[in-house]
Amino acid sequence: MTNDTDRKYWDPALETQSRAAWNALKLELLQRHLRHAYDNSPYYRASFEAAGVRPEQLRSLDDLRRFPTLDKKILRERQEAQPLLGDLAAVPEREVVYVSASSGSTGVPTVSPFTQQDFDDWIDYEARQFWSSGLRPHDRYAHSLNFSLFIGGPCVLGAQKLGALTIHAGTVPSERLLAILKQFQATAIWTTPSYAWYLGETAQKEGLDPRTELAVRRIFVAGEPGGSIPETRARIEALWGAQVYDYYGLSDIFGACAGMCEEKNGLHWAEDHILVEVLDPDSGEPVAPGERGEMVLTTLKKRARPLIRFRTGDIVSFTDEPCACGRTSQRLLGVHGRRDDMLIIRGVNIFPSDVEAIVRQDQDFSGEYRLIVDRPDHLDRLTIEAERSAAYAGSDAALAERLRERVKALTGVGAQVSILAAEALPRATHKAKRVEDRRGQVWTA
């Protein structure tokens, strides 16, 4: 690939092909990938046989639904049964050149292996995605994600492949990161949305205006739903005078599997690498386009460890309408929460992101909030703690009532609201902990 900065697409033929061409490509890749998994992974051979299916029975993309699903628990069990890589691996270890490991909250981290070709494919995809978000060879890109076994770390190599000057900043204290951004006059960074917000506020407190004294004009964010919540994005953009692009990654596949183009209307999906199904979590049936369901993913090329019908636990919605940018890949419209983040309050589903959208579009709130669920007298109770903004001079009771009504209107859930002083809640330096479920036993779907 050339570094011609006037070029609109990284890979024009692929990125603008028709839906029929996408589907034909996916079917061909999927048939080959299922065969590879069946022939080389003891786990897949056994699980396909237990389900009574064979790779050659897949003649259309819909046929994939006959194949069994798996989840994180199975990944962990198979890895523990057969260290290091588990028996989902489909190449000998000598062909593996890189592993990431995901920091699960319980148990041993699960590893994700790559062959050299898997790794090269991944980095080329990251370059394509960065290009679609407007990153160009003249940019200076500060990668502010963890490098220690974390799959987000090597994404910086995508920016490097694209030709940008890359600064492997890592996760350093905020004062240090601000100094790096200032010294190098970095034009782009990647971090979590909570941290982008926190870092911008920290800069202001230090008397540094990110809009005029720093050069950051593109912020890539991932790891939390905030980047796809317009109100959150707008607040971060205003703080920095920059454009915010949401990215979605999955530790068991790629650091980014999708990201926003400059239209910022959904996240273009790595459709030639990962096949997506959006399923009703209860019935397992596909939901209609645009509807919310659990995202189930199948790798199409990753030879070291294929993932066939991996249940992510993420509740998402997708569209396959072409984007105004001219790209035709499917777009992830939103990650509405984790399936296990989804709160069920007296039988009604509510996501933290629903509340987030409300508190962040109202200037009388600081934007920080927390949800607490408990069950006094055997009845679920949702309490929303929300900070008033420093400038708000009205009554807390009026503010609480406004939030209560809006949450009720959006979700149907009646909540208690507690208004806190600005800065009363702890600021997130990594992933924000926004939900505290104090119910002894949580009823989940």
Give me the residues that bind Zn ion (CB under 5 A), please.
261, 263, 323, 325, 327
**Nearer residue to Zn ion within complex by CB, 258 or 308:** 258
CB of 263 to Zn ion, least distance (A): 5
**Nearer residue to Zn ion within complex by CB, 261 or 308:** 261
**Nearer residue to Zn ion within complex by CB, 166 or 228:** 228
**Nearer residue to Zn ion within complex by CB, 8 or 66:** 8
CB of 326 to Zn ion, least distance (A): 7
**Nearer residue to Zn ion within complex by CB, 252 or 272:** 272
**Nearer residue to Zn ion within complex by CB, 231 or 263:** 263
CB of 9 to Zn ion, least distance (A): 10
Q: What are the residues whose beta carbons fall under 8 Å from the beta carbon of 206, sequence distance 6 or more?
A: 175, 178
**Nearer residue to Zn ion within complex by CB, 70 or 135:** 135
CB of 3 to Zn ion, least distance (A): 21
What is the sign, positive or negative, of the torsion defined by CA atoms of 264, 265, 270, 272? negative
Token digits of residue 187: 């034009």
CB of 29 to Zn ion, least distance (A): 22
Token digits of residue 1: 């690939």
CB of 221 to Zn ion, least distance (A): 17
CB of 262 to Zn ion, least distance (A): 7
Contact 218, 139 (CB under 8 A): yes
Sheet holding 188-191, edge to edge: 165-167, 140-143, 188-191, 218-221, 243-248, 258-260, 267-269, 331-338, 310-319, 293-299, 274-279
Angular region, 8: left φ>0, alpha ψ -120 to 50, beta rest: alpha
Please, how many CA atoms are within 13 Å of residue 218, restricted to the half-sphere of its CB?
Answer: 26
Contact 298, 275 (CB under 8 A): yes
- Tell me the one-letter amino acid at 234: A
CB of 136 to Zn ion, least distance (A): 17
**Nearer residue to Zn ion within complex by CB, 323 or 432:** 323
Measured in degrees and rounded to the nearest 5, phi and psi for residue 259 equal: -165, 160
Place of tokens 């909030």: 369
In this structure, how many other beta carbons lie within 10 angstroms of the beta carbon of residue 37?
25
- What does the DSSP assignment read for 115-150? EHHHHHHHHHHHHHHHHHTT--TT-EEEE-S--SS-
